[in-house]
Every structure is written in structure tokens, then in C-alpha cells.
Structure 1
Amino acid sequence: MRSLLRRLAPDLACLALLALLPLVFFFPVTLGGRTLLPIDNLYQLEPWASHRVEQGVPEVPHNALLSDLILQNYAWKTFLRESLAAGELPLWQPNQFAGTPFLANGQHSALYPFSLLMLVLPLPVAYGWFTVSQLALAGALMFLLVRGLGLSRAAGVVSGVSYQLSGFFITATVHPMIQAGAAWLPLILLMVEYILQGRALFPASAQAAGLRRLPWVLIGALALGMSFLAGHVEITYYTLLVTALYAVLRGMSLLYAGQWRPLGPAAASVALLVGLGFGLGAAQFLPFLETANASFRTERSSLAEVRGFALPERHLLVWAMPNVFGNPAHIPPLTL
């Protein structure tokens, strides 16, 4: 055991670093007494707007694009807490219009295990800790993926930091369910990699070829199920696309290397991983599908209307100059 811990100590230190960095980055909203919730945005609406001056709130909010977090997500979490405290399953939201489905919506992440933080901590603080937990998870899983591919610890740390503190994850702070859904992608890819390699979990089980891939199937299915339960179906859809692309490209590389024989069982194992992942996520995914079919957007938006939401071609400049068309926190130099 001591020799194992000694051998794993450098990797554990790297994982600890990847857990510490998000905490340092978000220290003000975890241990610093502040909150991620854009409460100043409320003062653009009544009844809060009438008290803006006396509360000393600026007329222009810091970033109006963050309003979903306080107007929508916070309301979801509040209703979830109130329902569970009353001993009720939050299946139905009676306070919106004439009532709307709640649990089937999914984006509240009610079935996601990490949402326990939203139930046991005060909500203004819980959002910061939830974000830290998901960024730490994302960085750790990316580190494991890179190490599983046989690369160095330094490569793993750089990859983990690049993933967890990427623009995608930081800007998704306003949508916690997006962070949660995307955090599991590296683990799914790692399990697909191990399946394709035919790697055994323990050396003694190397001869049990029929069961060799089963641990990776189960772990990968758990990760995919977590992505489903996070509640943002688009992110899970993208996760499945990336997983399929990765599996196909790795399979082609194995064929090119002449290692074609294990591909049949490996493909079946990957399919089983996806199937079990769907099964785990079905508690959230199936009610969502039923509710989505009743959406007012179903078959009512033309392709031209959808394309109208796209940014114009000139916004390709942001790849080189991110704020050339302004930043929602201050707008200039050019208009958005």
C-alpha cells in the first residue's frame, strides 16, 4: 500500500492542484463573502427598480446578459428547496402561468448529485461552491484522460487547467447545468480509449477477456448518465457527438496499425456504454422529451428564424480580438 501511495503521490499532487486553482479563482464567491448571483440586474425590474437609488445600485448593471442566473436559475433552485423542505416532489411548478412541468424541464439539475450543494448551503454561497466543484471535476478528469493516453504529468496539468479555466467553462458560470454536463466528457473519452485498448483494470484479470472491458463500460456509463442528469440536453448531445467521433477515429487508427480483431467486441462495449448511460439518464431525459414535444417552439420556428440568431460574419474577428465588438460588461469600443 505504501509503495502504491508513493507511486501515486505525484499524480495526486497534480489533482490537488487542479482542485485548488478553481477555489483560488473563485475565492471571492466561496470564502470571500460575495456571490455569483448578479443581484444588481434585479434593479432593472419592479419592484426592485423603485428602490435602486436608496440601495445605491448603479443604473446600468455590471452585465445584463447574466440575468438568467438570478431570474431563472435562482428561482428554480429556490422552488426545489421549498418543495423538498415541504416533503413534496417538485414535479409541477404551480406559480408560473397556470402551472408548468418542473422536474421534466431538467435545467434545474434537480437529479444531479452535485446539486446537493444547492440544498445544504445558502444559495448565494452555493453557486460559488457548485462552480468550483464542477471546474475541479473537469480539470481532474482531463488530467486523467491525458495521463491515460500515456502523456506526462506536466501535459496532464496543462490540459486540465486549459479545460477547467477555458473560456467555455468560465462564461458558462451563468448556466451551471452547462458546466456540469461538459465536465464529464474527458472521463467518457478515457473509458472509450481503455475499451479500445482492451486494457484490464487489474493485471490478474488480464486473461478474463470477456470481462476486461466491463469496468470501463460501467464507469463510462456512469459519466454519461451524470451528463444527462445535469439537465442540459444540448451539452449531452455534443458529448455524444465528440465521443462517437473519437471512437471512430481511434478505431480507424487501430485498423491502420493492423489491430483490427478487438474492434468488434470494443464497438459492442462502446454501444453498451452509451445504452447504459441513456438508461441512467432516462429519469431526466424521458420526461424532458415528453415536455419538449409540447414546447411552443416545436415546428413553429422556420430555418430562416433560427439562422437569424446567428452572429454576422464580421464577428469572426473575435477569434483574434475578443472584445473588438465590445464586452457586455462595458460595451465599447464598438457596438455589439
Structure 2
Amino acid sequence: MWKRYKRDIYALLVIVICIVLANSISIFLTNPNPVLKRSGLPLMGQTDYTRYIDGDNTIDPNDGYTKQALGTAAARQVQAGDMPYWNHDEGIGFPLLANAQSAALFPLTLLLTVQGGFLLFQLALELIAGVGMYLFLRKLELDRRASTVGGVLFGLCGTFAWLANAVCNPVAFLPWMLLGIEYLRNGTARTRHPLCIGVIFSLSLALSLYAGFPETAYLNGLFVLGWALVRTVGLEGSRWRYYMNLGLSGCVGLLLAAPAIVPFVQTLSVSHLGVHDGEALKHAGLSWAGLPMMFVPYVYGAMSDAGSIELLGTWFSIGGYVTFAALLLALLGMFATKYPRAVRVFLVVWAVVVTARIFAAPLITDILSVLPAMKETAVYRYLTPTVVCAVVILAAMALDHVAHRGVSRKMRYTFGAGTATFVIVIALIVWSQIPGNTDTTNYKRWLILSVGIAGVVVGAISYLVYAPRRHRRIALALVTVVVIAEAVVLFAIPQLAATKRPAQVEDGAVQFLRTNLDQQRFISFGPIQANYGSYFGIAQVNNNDLPVPTLWADHITNKLAPEAGDPVNFTGVYSTDLAKHPPIQEFLANIDEYRKIGVKYAVFGENGITEAQAASAGLVRVYDRNTVWVYELPHPAPYAESDLCTIQAQTRDQMTAYCHEAGTLVRRELFYPGWQATVDGHQVDIQQESDIFQKISLPKGESKITFYYAPPNIVWSWILCACACGILIGTLLWRRLR
């Protein structure tokens, strides 16, 4: 067995080494832990972040607010033996599993609770993606060199380099789904048992859905569906059996993921969806000025450090990049006749059409908006991984074809014309942006670096295309090294913008709140940013999440912060007009409403509130250290209270009531479908109180009260999941025994 797979193991080791090398800056020099930048807490012994280059190490701050903060909260519940259905520490209670972005049931989420877990999480995703792409390309019968290059390119794809939030989680399983399709196709003619050959597809589909970002999983699924349809070419007599096998395997994958799918779908009907509700995203796309960034990533400068407002907007919205080497090799891959024409045409058409949609090309945008959910999804960001995948496959095909069949005349002509066209178009767009750039010195450095890297790439691939045949082996070796080196360098650059090691947050305010908060809540206006209460295990009313329960969203808009803007970002930082309606001013004006939901403390940055403002609202400063000030509100409402009873709350879910006569209990937790309560073991109805709270009736005497939450129909979801697991295990055992 070792002799049979020895070369493949060596190739996989090369992929692992390249991915680890590309992350070496994060491993040894900088610390990508989002808590350092996203939590809003000061760093121990430092007054500011120190880094090697300006800019940011990742585009979307939800690497911290949702993936790390909510993911850690979910992981800790799992480790405690609880199902991560509900989060007491966000808002006045939020669904956790149903909101998806925490990836609550995704196995890799457990890594977030260990030292350096966030980096390990990202490394695991990259390795899964790289290994999956290698195995997929080998299944397509590409040689090991081309498959290794493809594995490195996809493992270090631009989505992983630029995004670290839950968006990138499902991307790791895209090549595995394609691999599953190939097993289904090749096994259709040899076996009559579909599930035996569909295990990889079913498992990778399920993991993609558990990974925490339904939009990416859905768009990846469209690419996989297109690939599955294209691969019917050549099946002839066994085509319908292939369709049946694919459908059955897909159904099993969906059943496996039912505990993630069902709660998410159900929560949409009782949630505020922000810009995803309606057609606000139907024609949204990137500015064409950002086109060079997709292929020459740092031509405008470091991440989020561009010199014009337009480009800053593009930085925040872009979903990754394709390396210039992969793009040029893909030009050759268009004519890699070793592979079916239908496959090559599909990959080219997908890459071109989807890129046009990313940049909101009018006709294509209107056509694609007919597809389900396209109007409500930020496709301009989340479709990028499929473009990378298509280009990487074409690039690997090109290397394999050239190694075994040489360079055809069509390849030479296409490469020359295509390269010239790309260079001219990119140069013209970049040139048009120079007047808008405010930091021309810094801009020129990045421009020189980008042109230098692109020049080396063009030179190496040109040598492969135009050199005499006797130089082919040397040219292939050179191109292999250059392609991998470019991918490693481009991937490593953003890591220089992370905080230098060693770095650690000062958590004195967190410890104070843990000690004194009890079962009440706090609100932040800077330090301990939204959702990081969940990360630290302290109840925080701020939220930065999507979806947002409708009752809570309406309460924010109507009672707590009418000028805060979209309640998706109830962070204590944003406002529709910061000059006229600063968040602190709104808080002071509505402070009674905060007391009614049980807010005991307000957390500010140093000098975030004046003493006069605090005194007028009755706020008392109880903690001030290292730029974090904590004020106590007067007379906050208790978490659980009764008109005729004495309540002792052991936890938020376990209480004891002593009633002189029958009464009611008001629990300041969000009224939401799925909550149930028992009194002395007997189930009682939960009523809605003051629009957002829960209320139950209590009998006379001493009572033991238990609240528990489970998403509606979750039991049936787990039963379906168990049935799917049983089917897969049963068919594998059946095949082995047979």
C-alpha cells in the first residue's frame, strides 16, 4: 500500500508544507487572533496595535464578531455537554444554532476554545481545501505535478487570504463535493448501490451546510450542480442511473445537515434580515475600478489601505482574488484537449459570467437574478470562490496537458493575445485611479511590487509557452516554482498587518463584570465590542448578528436606539447621523428603557462620557483602568421578578419560587418560538410580556421552575440526521460484507 500511494503522500506533504509556509508569518511573527483588534479592549503594555505594514490582515471584522465570539460561545456549550441552541449573552437572548454564523455544530468550531485556536481553524480549512483539490484533480487523471500545484493554489486561494469570517468555511468542501461527483460518475457503471459511491458527496455537502454560512454553501452548490450536469456528457446508457445516484446522495447529505438547515430556515420567518430582505442586493456589485485587485491583488496597496474612498468600499466588498499565474495558465487550459470540451467550456463560461456578475454587468446581473435567493444574497462577494475554483482547475489542466502533449498553436496565440489584453486593461484601470490616491509614495511601492511579481509570472509562463521543446522539462519546473511562490507570497502579505507578537488584551473590565454582573446585563459603547460578551461569557445587550429576531429588532428601533440605524449592528458605535445622534446621547435619553431590560452596567472608553452626563443620568463610575470605564445604572430591573412571589434564580434557566398565593413570574429573556417551561415538572404556557419578555403563572407555595429552549422540530431534524447516518453506515457495511 505504501508503494502504491507513496508519491501521492509526498505530493500531499508538499501541499501541507506550502500552506504552513504561507502562514509562517502568523505562526511566528504576528498574532491573527481577532480578539486583539475586534474586542475593543486595550492591549497589555501597549497603547496601540503594532504591525509591520499598514492596513488590515482581513477584510471583514466578522472574523471576530461572529465567527470567533459566537463560535466560541457555541463550542463552550458543546464542551459542557449542552446543545448550542440558545445564547443568553447576546441581546436579551438570541438563537445560536439557528443564526448559522456561529457554525455551532461544525466540528472545527471546537478549535476556537484552545490556545491559538483561531489560526488552527484557518489552517485546517486551508489544508482540507488543498488536499480536496489534489484528490479531485487526481480523480480527473491529472499528473501529480499539476494536481499538487492545483492543491496549493486552492488551499491558498484569495478567499482564505482576505476573509477569515464564516464566509470561507464552506469553501474548504467545494473540491470535496466535486470529488464526490466524480466518484458518482465513475461508479455509476460499476455498481448498482448508489450510496456506496456517494458517501464523499453526501458528507462534504453536509459539512458545507454545517460550516456556518448558507449563502456561500448555496452558491458553491450551484457550481457543483453545473459540474454534475456537464459530467453527464459521455455517460450515454447509464445517464439516468447517474442522476438517480446523484439525487439520492444529495438527499442523504441534506438529511445529515437537517439539524443545521431546519432551525435556520424556520428562524427566517421571525427575524429581521437587514439588506437581505427584499431586492436591495439585486444589482449590487463591485466597482470596475476593483477589477485589477481580483488578479493583481495589491496593485492599489495593502488591504483596506487604498487611497480613495471608492477603493476602500471595494476592499470591504470583494471576496478574494485569483493569482495572476493561475489566470494566465487558465488561458492555456481552455485548449487542453486532453480533457472533454464540455468541461473546459463550462469552466470558462462560469468564470467569465460569474466575474461579470461580481462587477454587476447589467444583462448578466438581470439574468442571474432569476435564480432563487440571488436577489437577497451578496453574490459579488460570495461567488468569488467558485471563480477561483474554475480557474485553478483550468490552470492545472494546462500544466498537465503541456507536460504530456506540449503547447499547441492555439495555446500560443491565445496566451499572447490574452496576456496582452489583460495587461492593457489592468494598466488602464490602475492608471485611471492614480489621481484619486492620496498616498502616492506608498502607492508606488505597492505598484512596483505588484508589477514585479506579475512580470516574473509572465516571463516564466512565456518561457514555457514559447521555448523549444527540449526546454520543456526545465520550463515546467520553473513555472511550478513560480506559480507556487506567487501563491505563497500573496497569501502571506496580509499577515504582516496583524498585531505583532507578543500581544494580549487587558481583561480587567471583563473580570469585574464577571464578578459583579450576576444575571443582569451590560451595554458597551466601545470596549468589549458587540458579541464579545458571548466570547467572555458575560451577558451583553449589544448585538452584531444576522438574522436578528424581529421582536428584538423592533424594540431596538422603537425603544432603545431609534437612530442607531439597522438593528443588525446594535453595537453602541453606529448611528444614522453620528453628529446629531451620537449613540451615548441616545442611551442617556432612553436610559429608563435600558434599566427595564435589566442593564446594570454601561462600558465606555476613556472620556467616552463626561462626568456631567453621568451625574445627570444617575450613573456611578465603578471601574476605570487602562482606558476602560464602567458605570453602574441606578435600579436596573431584575432578571426574574414576580408580583406576589419571592424568586431565587440559581441560573437563568433554573429558579425556585416561594408564593403566598398564586402569581406570575416575568423572565427578562426574549420571547421566541421554541422556549418551554415546567413548574414542578408540569409544563406550563409561556406568555408574552411587554412585547419581548416571557411570563408564566405560578401556583401558591414553593415551586421549582425550569426553562429550556429547543428550536421547533429539532427532534425530527436529529431523527432524520440519525437515519441518514444509519443509511450510510449500513450501505458501507453491506458492501464490505458482500
> Structures share a fold, TM > 0.5?
yes
1:95 CA displacement: 2.0
- Give 1:189 shift: 1.2
Superposed CA deviations along residues 139-196 of structure 1, whole A, max 9, x for unmatched, are 1111111110111001100111111111122222x21x33331111212212212222
* Aligned pairs (5 A) from 1:1-336: 4-30=1-27, 32=28, 34-42=30-38, 45=40, 48=41, 55-58=46-49, 62-63=55-56, 65-119=59-113, 121-122=114-115, 125-172=116-163, 174-175=164-165, 177-198=166-187, 206=190, 209-211=191-193, 213-251=194-232, 253-254=233-234, 259-297=235-273, 301-303=277-279, 305-307=280-282, 309-319=284-294, 321-323=296-298, 327-332=302-307, 335-336=311-312
Change in Cα spacing, 1:97 to 1:55, as seen in structure 2 (3 Å) is: same
Q: Which residue identity does 1:312 align to in structure 2?
A: S
1:198 and 1:65, CA in 2 relative to 1: closer, same or farther beyond 3 A?
A: closer
Alpha carbons of structure 1 residues 84 and 226: separation in structure 2 relative to 1, 3 Å: closer
Q: Deviations over 1:203-232 (max 9, x none)?
A: xxx5xx313x43221221011111111121
Worse-matched range after superposition: 158-167 or 88-97 = 88-97
Q: Distance in 1 between matches of 2:104 and 2:59?
A: 24
Q: Cα distance, 1:308 vs. partner?
A: 7.1
CA distance in 2, matches of 1:217, 1:42: 41
Q: For the residues of structure 1 that align with 2:69 and 2:176, how far apart are their CA atoms?
A: 31
Displacement after TM superposition at 1:88 (Å): 3.2
- In the alignment, the residues of structure 2 paired with residue 52 and residue 226 of structure 1 have an alpha-carbon distance, to the nearest angstrom, of 36
Shift of 1:298: 7.2
Q: What is the letter of the counterpart of residue 13 of structure 2? A: A
Range with greater deviation from structure 2 (8-17 or 65-74): 65-74
| Amino acid in structure 2 at the alignment position of 1:132 | L
1:316/1:297 CA distance change after superposition, 3 Å: same
- Is contact 2:126–2:160 with CA below 8 Å preserved after alignment? yes
Offset of residue 296 of structure 1: 1.0
Distance 1:299 1:331 in 2: 26
**SS of alignment partner, residue 231 of structure 2:** helix
Matched residue, 2:639: none
Kindly provide the amino acid, as one letter, of the partner of residue 184 in structure 1: F
Q: Which has the larger radius of gyration?
A: 2
Q: Secondary structure at the match of 1:105?
A: coil
**1:244, 1:308 → 2: CA distance?**
24
SS in 2 for 1:183: helix
Structure 1: runs of 5 or more not aligned: 201-205
State the one-letter code of the partner of 2:209.
Answer: F
Distance 1:180 1:70, change over 3 A: closer
Counterparts of 2:78 and 2:243, CA distance in 1? 42
Q: Are the structure 2 counterparts of residues 16 and 218 from structure 1 closer, same or farther at C-alpha, using a change threshold of 3 Å?
A: same
- The alignment partner of 1:103 has SS state of coil
Secondary structure in 2 aligned to 1:107?
coil
CA distance in structure 2 between the aligned counterparts of 1:24 and 1:320, rounded to whole angstroms: 22
- The 8 Å contact of residues 103 and 211 in structure 2, kept in 1 or not, is answered as yes
2:31 counterpart SS class: coil
Whichever structure has more helix as a proportion of its residues is 1
State the superposition RMSD in angstroms.
Answer: 2.9
Q: CA deviation at 1:36?
A: 1.5
Instruction: Verify the 8 A CA contact 1:38 1:66 in the aligned structure 2.
Output: no
Query: Could you say what secondary structure the match of 1:331 adopts?
Result: coil
Q: 1:115 & 1:52 partners in 2: Cα distance?
A: 25
Q: Which amino acid aligns with 2:65?
A: L
Higher-strand-fraction structure: 2
Check the 8 A contact 1:92/1:101 in 2, yes or no.
Answer: yes
Q: Secondary structure at the match of 1:37?
A: coil
| Secondary structure class of the residue paired with 1:262 | helix
Pairs aligned (count): 308
1:325 CA displacement: 5.2
